[in-house]
């Protein structure tokens, strides 16, 4: 055997080791539910809220809208729920949930900033807001002001990745990476609440309304579903 062939075989051994290590390191334990069925998880009535037929066209949960709007959502997610709720005093909140059973670096929840932008809205950030879900649980959310020629929509959202909430693109990537090294494939859920306002000045009022809606919803859910919505990271 020539020295060249020995070196060639050594290269092969190294490359085969790399391939085998990659297979060993690949996360296999999936955190996601098999069939979440958002329709069944989120009640149509709770507290003073009741779902009603949607009157305005909700912004889709994907940035790239295909000819068939429905298809472009089901292609990206394992389950999607879009509803409008009306409170007994007449206030309305639109809610949109998008669930992905497996989150990976290149296949994950689309952030609402991009979805609104791609659907013709000008988007400006209103910053990070804590939502008090109940006495023991707050969740970090993002608030957005979105406008197009026919409406102004205020948005609150958060994204749960695995057990924690991560709203920043790098935080999401980091969470997926960390879970992956632990052998876990996290699932992902986008929780988006939004409402229409006449002017941008009404933004704070709408955000308060959305936080009330989210807290009321959270309070009406069993613990399992609460965790499904907001994760169960222990905050000290």
Partner 1 sequence: MTVGSTIVLPGGLATARGSGAMWWPVVAGLLVLYLPTYLDLDAVYWARENGAPGIVVVAIWLWLVWRARAALQTQRRTRAGSVAGWLAIVTGAALYALGRSQQLFQLEVGSQLLIVPGIVLVLLGPAATRRLWFVWAFLAFTVPLPGSLIDSLLVPLKEFVAAAVTDVLFFAGLPIARDGVVIYVGPYQLFIADACSGLNQLVALAAIGVLYVHVAAHKARMHSVLLLASIVPVATIANVLRVTTLVLATYFGGDALGRQLHDYVSYAEIAVAFGTFFVLDHALTAWRRLRLRRSAA
List contacts with partner 1 (CB under 8 A).
Answer: 2, 4-5, 7-9, 11-12, 14-19, 21-27, 63-67, 104-107, 114, 117-122, 148-149, 169-170, 173, 176-177, 180-181
Taking the complex as a whole, the smallest distance from the CB of residue 57 to partner 1 amounts, in Å, to 11
Distance CA 144, CA 128 (A): 9
Measured from the CB atom, the residue of 168 and 216 that comes closer to partner 1 is: 168
Q: Which is nearer to partner 1, 13 or 50 (CB)?
A: 13
Please state, in angstroms and rounded to a whole number, the distance separating the CA atoms of residues 44 and 38.
11
Q: How far is the CB of 84 from partner 1 (least distance, A)?
A: 22
User: Smallest distance, Å, CB 30 to partner 1?
Assistant: 14
Alpha carbon distance 129, 209 (integer Å): 13
Nearer Cβ to partner 1, position 51 or 118? Answer: 118
d(Cα 117, Cα 124) in Å, to the nearest integer?
10
H/E/C letters for each residue in 10-74?
HHHHHHHHHHHHHHHHCCCEECCCCCCCHHHHCCCEECCEEEECCCCCCCCCCCCCCCCHHHHHH
- Judged by CB, which is closer to partner 1: 119, or 132? 119
In the complex, what is the shortest distance from the CB of residue 202 to partner 1, in angstroms, rounded to a whole number? 21
Q: Which is nearer to partner 1, 134 or 182 (CB)?
A: 182
Q: How far is the CB of 62 from partner 1 (least distance, A)?
A: 10
Do 152 and 197 touch, CB atoms closer than 8 A?
yes
Measure the CA–CA gap between 34 and 37, rounded to whole angstroms: 9
Q: Based on CB atoms, which residue is closest to partner 1, 143 or 176?
A: 176
Helix extents (H) in the chain? 3-25, 38-41, 69-76, 112-118, 169-181, 203-219, 223-230
- Min dist CB 17 to partner 1, Å, is 7
């Amino acid at each position: 055997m020539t020295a060249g062939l020995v070196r060639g075989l050594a290269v092969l051994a190294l490359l085969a080791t790399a391939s085998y290590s990659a297979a060993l390191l690949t996360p296999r334990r999936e955190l996601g539910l098999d069939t979440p069925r958002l329709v069944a998880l989120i009640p149509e009535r709770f507290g003073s809220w009741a779902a009603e037929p949607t009157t305005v066209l909700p912004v889709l949960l994907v940035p790239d809208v295909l000819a068939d709007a429905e298809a472009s959502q089901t292609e990206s997610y394992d389950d999607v729920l879009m509803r409008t709720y009306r409170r007994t005093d007449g206030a309305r909140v639109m809610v949109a949930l998008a669930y992905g059973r497996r989150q990976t670096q290149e296949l994950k929840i689309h952030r609402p900033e991009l979805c609104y932008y791609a659907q013709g809205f000008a988007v400006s950030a209103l910053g990070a807001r804590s939502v008090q879900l109940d006495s023991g649980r707050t969740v970090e959310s993002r608030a957005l002001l979105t406008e197009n020629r026919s409406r102004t929509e205020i948005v609150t959202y958060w994204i749960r990745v695995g057990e924690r909430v991560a709203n920043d693109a790098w935080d999401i990537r980091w969470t997926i990476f960390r879970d992956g090294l632990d052998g876990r494939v996290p699932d992902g859920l986008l929780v988006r609440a939004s409402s229409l306002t006449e002017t941008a000045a009404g933004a704070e009022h709408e955000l308060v309304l959305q936080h009330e809606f989210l807290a009321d919803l959270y309070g009406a859910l069993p613990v399992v579903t609460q965790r499904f919505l907001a994760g169960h990271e222990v905050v000290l």
